[in-house]
Amino acid sequence: NAGVTQTPKFRILKIGQSMTLQCTQDMNHNYMYWYRQDPGMGLKLIYYSVGAGITDKGEVPNGYNVSRSTTEDFPLRLELAAPSQTSVYFCASSSGTANQPQHFGDGTRLSIL
Amino acid sequence: GDSVTQMEGPVTLSEEAFLTINCTYTATGYPSLFWYVQYPGEGLQLLLKATKADDKGSNKGFEATYRKETTSFHLEKGSVQVSDSAVYFCALSDLWYNQGGKLIFGQGTELSVKP
């Protein structure tokens, strides 16, 4: 019963470095999402995808890139990491209908120093 | 645009106390409403949902009723336990005007239950 799996769980980056946060789901969901959660705040949508090969920007896409080559995987790329990107990142997936919930991974805690 | 507003936390209660966490929303269309819970160090889990006006969602002793007239979806529990300590998020999804099933979240309310 894996659900949504995110790796790594923790990471420290230096300013200017790049990295990819991995997300995979085994529920055959077409819709996938990346959120960031800052302390005391709700979740902000970074990017989302409604199917393989289709991605779109969310509320806070600057500094990030995504790709969706398969239904299962939805990696998030940080280029030129900045301190403002220090956050907890959550990946989620859903079947895409309004009354069906999103399923979340356990998150990646990222610090940029 | 669509938005969700929750009461500010943290909320501190004694075990067996009654819990209410207020949530109000604004939406253009006909949203579905959700409560998610986040335990320390974990991702969000769906707690309950309601998909149309007057629906009541319930799970694990928690309840919330979708009130269209007051645009509210308040979370209640009659007797909280220490294990209910977590952050609670109210959220909406409005497919009519919001392609992709995106969720709009409130800022979260931290609940701490003391023995």
pLDDT in tens, B4-61: 999 888 999 999 999 999 999 998 878 889 999 999 888 899 999 998 899 999 999 9
Nearest Cα residue in chain A from B46 = A101
Report how far residue A55's alpha carbon sits from residue A106's, in angstroms, rounded to the nearest whole number. 22
Residue pair B94/B27 in contact (Cβ under 8 Å)? The answer is yes
CA–CA min distance B65, chain A (Å): 15
Check residues B35 and B1 and name the one with the higher pLDDT. Answer: B35
pLDDT at B100: 65
Report the 3 state secondary structure along chain B: CCEEEECCCCEEEECCCCEEECEEEECCCCCEEEEEEECCCCCEEEEEEECCCCCEEEECCEEEECECCCCECCEEECCCCHHHCEEEEEEEECCCCCCCCCEEECCCEEEEEEC
Residue pair A74/A21 in contact (Cβ under 8 Å)? The answer is no
Interface residue ranges in chain A relative to chain B, Cβ cutoff 8 Å: 4, 31, 33, 40-43, 45, 48, 50, 56, 58, 90, 92, 94, 96-107
Q: Is residue A40 very low, low, confident or very high in pLDDT (cuts 50, 70, 90)?
A: confident
- Smallest CA-to-CA distance from B39 within B81, B88, B106 is with B88
Check residues B96 and B102 and name the one with the higher pLDDT. Answer: B102
User: Residue B112 burial by CB count (10 A; 0-12/13-18/19+): exposed, middle or buried?
Assistant: middle
Whether A13 shows a pLDDT value over 80: the answer reads yes
CA–CA min distance B54, chain A (Å): 15
Residue pair A32/A74 in contact (Cβ under 8 Å)? The answer is yes
Cis peptide bond prior to A39, omega within 30° of 0: no
pLDDT at B7: 86
pLDDT at A67: 95
The token duo for B47 is 């707690």
φ, ψ of residue A57 to 5 degrees: the values are -75, 145
> What does pLDDT average to over chain A?
92
pLDDT, one tens digit per residue, over B59-98 is: 999 999 999 999 999 999 999 999 999 999 999 987 655 5
Report how far residue B79's alpha carbon sits from residue A18's, in angstroms, rounded to the nearest whole number. 47
pLDDT at A39: 81
Count interface pairs A-B at CB distance under 8 A. 63
Distance of CA B101 to the CA centre of its chain: 17
What mean pLDDT comes out for the span A14-30? 96
Inter-chain CB proximity B93 and A98 less than 8 Å:
yes
- Rg of chain B over Cα atoms, rounded to whole angstroms, equals 14
Report how far residue B33's alpha carbon sits from residue B85's, in angstroms, rounded to the nearest whole number. 22
Report how far residue B20's alpha carbon sits from residue A99's, in angstroms, rounded to the nearest whole number. 24
Inter-chain CB proximity A90 and B46 less than 8 Å:
no
pLDDT at B30: 81
CA–CA min distance A53, chain B (Å): 14
Whether A82 shows a pLDDT value over 90: the answer reads yes
The DSSP code for A113 is -
Tell me the chain A residues in contact with residue B51 when contact means C-beta distances shorter than 8 Å: 98-99
Q: What is the DSSP string of A80-97?
A: S--GGG-EEEEEEEE-S-
